[in-house]
A and B are shown apart, each in its own frame.
Chain A
């Protein structure tokens, strides 16, 4: 009896201690989206005057957690205490008033307006209804100077500003609400190394002002360099919390990516031959004047599944678009016997891969080889044959539909993916490029997709699997490349483990 009483009082004392020593305490936060458990009883706390890094892979629950903290998403259960006061009203406006503000991943600025005009949409003090840009500029200086942050020249429009200027401007706008908790969602993904150092210095200044800075990132080195504490999320659960001084990169990588069994259904070697199908040789490409592929080289042999691992946004989209022929390289060549017979399964299936308003059979015709097969000498389409062919493929790939005439929009996610795979395989490609095709699919659908890719490779085809899911890559791929800032590095056999690949992904060599 006394023992229970004691443990209860220990729990109580620990809870009060947490609330007393921490500015922000979130306890038991759970959030469910349909059948998906996005956050599973996550605890998170941060003391005033500290930088707390929140790390995790895509889908680990980082974004959901900060959306809950800022009131953009209502949690199913759990409590949040700010400065000892439980926050009952958690609307976005109430969170902002209470002092929790966030800078979100993509800058939300009005491109054609000056930076002062953009700051009007912040929490600056105003004198009546008059728009006083000079006063806003003065207040912005008042925020920027203690942080040693340079401001753009007066009235500079956003279009003329660099990416780092924009990020700083967003932060100043957010600071105008005088937040005690400042959340930064992956702000560094767009910064170069030199800018990064200045940015981290700014974070240290903010910490010096007694604020809580929560830095959401997947770059381990950055987290270690600047944070006091690091919380690791994986699959919606809080896996661990570490003092930055008491851990290192490999340990964090392992925590972030998870314990993997030594051999995860090793790739099969059936059909694998030393016969290059596709050679990507020193490809460079630009998009919006940004270098998205940098001297990237890669080789695929007959029967081989080659993996490209990496954090989203490091050039994977451009690599897939390049192989689809949608963008052209500024340097380098794509060569090999398969260069003209590549079928790409794009990451953004509904936007790049399908035309949702068109019927299934017309979606099949999007693949050029199939279009050629059903087009007569006068450019006329043999609709009957194309429809029958599509219906036949639907049956073969288990897409249960009343007919090929229904619109692609009516299909479920899994069936849409089956349709794109059916189309790719039906067009007799020599190489299939699959980009994140299992994202959002359930266990069985994923297994089916994997089985199809395997049997395709075993039949003498080549597969390029671009994925952010390391488990998937380990399970399927004969060889692995890591893509980082548009550059491809092949992973040697002795580095084929989550720690080393995790480090390569985060930019370490």
Chain B
């Protein structure tokens, strides 16, 4: 019940953000109709545009799930970008060696190494948090830089393609490629895999013991510890799982779209996905449409620039307004909740609040 009203608030935020941008465009003398039509055309205008929106949504979906899982445990994983790169690098490094493998096995292998690599990258931040009390915000940001630099070094060095002409890696074996069933559209099984993982994440969080413990830790780590939940171990596991989800995203991107590593692999999906996860209220099922929405905005932005002459930056403005409005609504909603009963948390524990006494 709660979750649905929260999602409705997200939709209102999206609508309001568009309204604000409309006023901005009017004030600048531009025609909102033309701009938004171009945006919509670019995102959903034809079959190819639609499928490209889904392709653009895919990395956001994986990273969004990664972030939502960690955020549910109150672990602020800002490192989905680095974890995605780590997954892509492992996939790009193994890919060329899989030519002798049968297709399904090669695909499983390339996605598998990507998953493990992402899990390792996330797990480092989890270990630092659990054992050395290093803030995961700092460590994941640092690991993002590290991953980006490692990638840059790799495509200029050990993983550089055989002719050593361009900063990119050798192509992966064709047996390891995720097939494009709808060519020329780039639509692939990655989006489907992401949707299945979204359902899996939902089941994990709300229907399994470990998921329950993870959410308990995220809401009150002290109580979780008091009831024998091994919070340190769980921190490492959560960050590992979170990294794994982003890592698969990286591997999928290599296996389906680029087939090799480039220096500029991610345009910042890991950061944009924070917005995706927040708009979806960390609900894994809602991340699927949220990722599609953001993918559509990204996809439409380019068309909008072509046909309406509006800078694609406008899309980032819309995204930013969505987040700001949503957070504003949230604080209003929580204030309303406190006012209409329910009481407030008392740090002194048993000390009753006025609210407690009224409804006791």
Contacts and interface: CB of A to CB of B under 8 A. Distances in A.
Interface stretch (B93-101, B210-218, B247-255): B210-218
Contact of A381 (B212, B347, B360): B212
Q: Which of B225, B346, B352, B359 has the most CB of A within 10 A?
A: B352
Contacts of B356: 412-414, 440
Interface string A140-168: 00000000000000000000000000000
Interface string B293-335: 0000000000000000000000000000000000000000000
A467 to B, nearest CB: 12
Contacts of A324: 226-228
A414 B353 CA distance: 11
Q: Which of B212, B227, B351 has the most CB of A within 10 A?
A: B227
B209 interface: yes
B355 to A, nearest CB: 8
A355 B224 contact: yes
B222 to A, nearest CB: 6
B343 A412 contact: yes
B349 A355 contact: no
Interface string A496-509: 00000000000000
Nearest to A362: B212
A365 B224 CA distance: 11
A202 to B, nearest CB: 31
Given A368-B228, A442-B360, A355 B209 contact: no
Given A371-B209, A379-B208, A356 B345 contact: yes
Interface in A437-488: 437, 439-442, 445
A366 B228 CA distance: 9
Contacts of B233: none
Given A321-B226, A349-B350, A358 B215 contact: yes
Interface string A357-393: 1100010011110010001001111010000000000
Interface string B1-28: 1000000000000000000000000000
Interface in A392-445: 405, 407, 409-410, 412-415, 417, 436-437, 439-442, 445
B348 to A, nearest CB: 8
Contacts of A356: 219-220, 345
A367 B223 contact: no
A56 interface: no
Nearest to B349: A348
Given A381-B212, A413-B356, A350 B346 contact: yes
A347 interface: yes
B341 A355 contact: no
Contacts of B183: none
B29 interface: no
A380 B212 CA distance: 10
Contact of A436 (B228, B345, B350): B350
B165 interface: no
Nearest to A349: B349
Q: How large is the interface on A (under 10, 10 to 19, 20 to 34, 35 or more residues)?
A: 35 or more
B219 to A, nearest CB: 5
Contacts of B348: 348
B350 A348 contact: yes
B360 A445 contact: yes
A337 to B, nearest CB: 19
Contacts of B359: 412
B297 to A, nearest CB: 31
A383 B207 contact: yes
A365 B216 CA distance: 10
A351 B223 contact: yes
Contact of A350 (B209, B215, B224, B349): B349
Given A34-B357, A355-B220, A381-B208, A344 B226 contact: yes
Nearest to B227: A366
Nearest to A442: B360
Contact of B220 (A344, A351, A375, A407): A351
Contacts of A321: 226
B350 A362 contact: no
A354 interface: yes
B360 to A, nearest CB: 4
A349 B342 CA distance: 16
Contact of B351 (A354, A383, A414, A440): A440
A338 to B, nearest CB: 16
Nearest to A423: B227
A124 to B, nearest CB: 32
A414 B350 contact: no
A367 B227 contact: yes
A358 B216 contact: yes
B360 A412 contact: yes
B227 to A, nearest CB: 4
Contacts of A409: 342-343, 345
Interface in A72-99: none
Contact of B357 (A35, A326, A347): A35
B281 to A, nearest CB: 13
Given A383-B207, A410-B341, A412-B360, A365 B212 contact: yes
A499 to B, nearest CB: 28
A121 B11 CA distance: 48
Given A352-B222, A381-B212, A414 B228 contact: no
A61 interface: no
Contacts of B1: 405
A491 to B, nearest CB: 25
A346 B226 contact: yes
Contacts of A34: 354, 357
A414 B355 CA distance: 12
Nearest to B342: A410
Interface of A: 34-35, 321, 324-326, 344, 346-358, 362, 365-368, 371, 375, 378-381, 383, 405, 407, 409-410, 412-415, 417, 436-437, 439-442, 445
Interface of B: 1, 206-210, 212, 215-216, 219-220, 222-228, 341-343, 345-357, 359-360
Closest 7 CB pairs of A and B: A348-B349, A413-B356, A440-B350, A439-B350, A412-B360, A413-B352, A355-B220
21 contacts: A349-B349, A351-B223, A351-B347, A352-B226, A354-B220, A355-B216, A355-B220, A356-B220, A357-B220, A358-B216, A362-B215, A367-B227, A368-B228, A379-B208, A379-B210, A381-B212, A409-B345, A412-B359, A414-B356, A417-B350, A440-B352
